[in-house]
Amino acid sequence: MGQASSSLIISGDQKAIQAIKNRVEQLSGETVRLMEKKNLDGSSVSVIMITIAIPLIQQILTFVKEYANQGRVKKIKVGDIEIENPSDQLVQAMINKLAND
């Protein structure tokens, strides 16, 4: 029986999202598309989206915590759970929730 999977969307500054994208590709073996999204104020954020197994999402979020703590990640969405301006504590809470579901 296969592992449960979910969608993962992460947005933030270009260098952080590129590093996260590289990590996702390394862990998943999948090619991940990086997109640029323009905000109304003219600023832009980088976004990655992928559907992968929950255990891989947990590993990726562990990697993301460092960037979140630096304020370089603007939003994380896993399934229907979304965190804006995440701290490493909020990311850890998301990891814990995924482990208990």
* pLDDT tens digit at each of 101 positions of the chain: 457 899 999 999 999 999 999 999 999 998 999 999 887 888 888 999 999 999 999 999 999 999 999 999 999 999 999 999 999 899 999 999 998 87
Structural tokens at position 91: 């990311």
CB of 21 closer than 8 Å to CB of 1:
no
Separation of alpha carbons 75 and 10, rounded Å: 6
pLDDT score for 101: 79
Residue 77 gets the label, from left (phi > 0), alpha (psi -120 to 50) or beta, of beta
CATH class of the domain whose range is 5-100:
alpha beta
pLDDT score for 1: 43
What does the angle CA 37 – CA 70 – CA 51 come to, to the nearest 5 degrees? 50
pLDDT score for 2: 58
